[in-house]
Amino acid sequence: MKDELSKLIEQIDSRVDRRSFLAGSAAVGALALSSSASPVLAQDATPKKGGHVILGLAGGESSNTLDPALTLSQVPYNVMAHIGDLLVESSPTGEITHRLAEDHSSSPDAKVWQFKIRQGVSFHDGTKLTADDVLKTMQRHSNEKATSGALGIMKGISSMRAEGDLFEVTLAEANADLPYLMSDMHLYIQPGGGMDNPTSGIFSGPYKIVVNDPGVRHTFEKFADYWDDSRGHFDTSEILVINDVTARTAALQSGQVHLANLIEPKIADFLSKAPGMVLERTKGRGQNVFVMLVDTAPFDNNDLRLALKFAIDREEMLKKVLRGYGTLGNDIPINAAYPLFDDSLPQRPFDLDKAAEHYKKSGHDGSPIILRVSDVAFPGAVDAAQLFQQTAQKAGIPLELKREPGDGYWSEVWNKQPFCASYWGGRPTQDQMYSTAYLSTADWNDTHFRNPKFDALLMQARAELDPAKRKQIYSEMSMMVRDEGGLILPMFNDFLDAHSDKIAGWVSDPTGDMMNSQAAVKCWMA
């Protein structure tokens, strides 16, 4: 198989020769020598139309699909943001923004919700959006056979219906956060709900897909009949899948791509000083994690899980891997970016004595404990895993690393192998985060944490409209995940993206990198 560098060279449409590309690669090594701050052009607040934008992104695989139910990494997220529309979105400041729903309302008890569907919206095949398309989309994602990443958040819905221009949802229990759940990045509306062909690529977004070469390249052209003039400013857009961090950074430095994601913290300071470059640092809900399947040996033993949790030096990892571009984690998927976060929860310490005590108590046979890791798991994941291995071995824990290739990591390793490195971009609310990844029935429950009491508390929190009481419930749930679950969360990462100073309109979003995957949709050429 061609390596990432060769693949990239072949996919730039012959716009540059090999020598100029390799010169860009050499420029990465010279970043440390640069001391001049890069000039940032004054950005016109009025978007400019036209041009061709190229994104160099990590997080793409040959197994990627255009079915929004199955998106689970950065490239598919960005592809879907190009071509699709949601009912509503959560804005960078946390408010609900109406998209295909132009308004919403609820009953006083927050159990019945109605969304008024925008009229005159066209799908890429020319058909018009109806409330029935919305209904069928939601029904498909509620079906376990669709294996949708949104399955967990759909579980609280007891019935749905469409009538005229209204889509109505009735919940089993009240939930004031229901509109935020509808902003889940899997719930892009498809004609007929995608029931017949979920991979058709037909949506209502600002761009139509032209080339779909998973793991390599995706190209798009402006959809002439798009309903919202505030998005989709480029004539054409292109995503090059560049999982190798050196090749990706080189492509950005040499001008062959305009934007790149997953900038490694160890070069971030240098890159921010490179001529023509802009580093975007976004604090938020991003998580660098190691996940254990709690129903699979040896991780079905909670003492072994606790041994590993006490054996990780979070402060060292934050300092050496993230270089300060993040905050300390506590094996809880919630931080201060969430409004109802309980900051009184005790911080789990780095304690080799406790790690050794729990390891001995677990009765583990001393065979290697395999941790699978890849560069695409998160920036610096391999370095983080090596630090973890070193401290675990000091506690007598035989942690062994297995480095996996980037292509296939999200389809063959994550949520399949019993112990691996991973990441989460976070969600707008605690309910959505827990419903997506910790509810027993959630398809994306990547630790296989299944606890009836936790599930009941989640439903109770949804129905509780008193913020103080809701915060208390979430605090109890956090401790259950922390002390019984398979999550090891050493640090919350800042999102580090970079782009050419020719790109204007950037607005950081704490929910995800690349403006929560919408950079190519909302930005324009300066």
Name the residue ranges covered by the structural domains of the chain. Answer: 4-82+205-281+496-525, 88-194, 287-493
Query: For 243-278, how does the pLDDT look when each residue is reduced to its tens digit (9 = 90+)?
Result: 999 999 999 999 999 999 999 999 999 898 999 999
Amino acid residing at 115: F
Give how far Cα 327 sits from Cα of 121, 267, 269, 315, 330, Å.
Answer: 42, 18, 17, 9, 10
User: Would you place residue 433 in the very low, low, confident or very high pLDDT band (cuts 50, 70, 90)?
Assistant: very high
pLDDT of residue 284: 87
Residue 428: pLDDT over 60:
yes
What is the 3-state secondary structure of 355-369? Answer: HHHHHHHHCCCCCCE
Percent of residues in the chain assigned helix, strand, coil, to nearest 5:
35, 20, 45
Angle at 168 between CA 167 and CA 169, to 5 degrees: 130
CA–chain centroid gap for 480, Å, is 24
Q: What is the mean pLDDT of the chain?
A: 90
pLDDT of residue 180: 92
* C-alpha span between 89 and 297 (Å, rounded): 40
DSSP 50: -
DSSP 392: H
Please report the beta strands in 8-95, taking only residues with DSSP state E, as ranges in sequence order: 52-57, 88-90
User: For the chain, what is the radius of gyration of the CA atoms?
Assistant: 23
* C-alpha span between 70 and 470 (Å, rounded): 31
Query: For 306-350, how does the pLDDT look when each residue is reduced to its tens digit (9 = 90+)?
Result: 999 999 999 999 999 999 999 999 999 999 999 899 999 999 999
Stated pTM of the model: 0.83
The CATH code that applies to domain 88-194 is 3.90.76.10
pLDDT of residue 176: 86
The widest CA-to-CA distance across the chain, in whole angstroms, is: 66
Fold of the 287-493 domain: Dipeptide-binding Protein; domain 3 (3.10.105)
Per-residue burial over 381-405, b if 16 or more Cβ lie within 10 Å, else e, is bbbbbebbbebbeebebebebeebe
Q: Which CATH number fits domain 4-82+205-281+496-525: 1.10.3720.10, 2.60.120.260, 3.40.190.10, 3.40.50.300?
A: 3.40.190.10
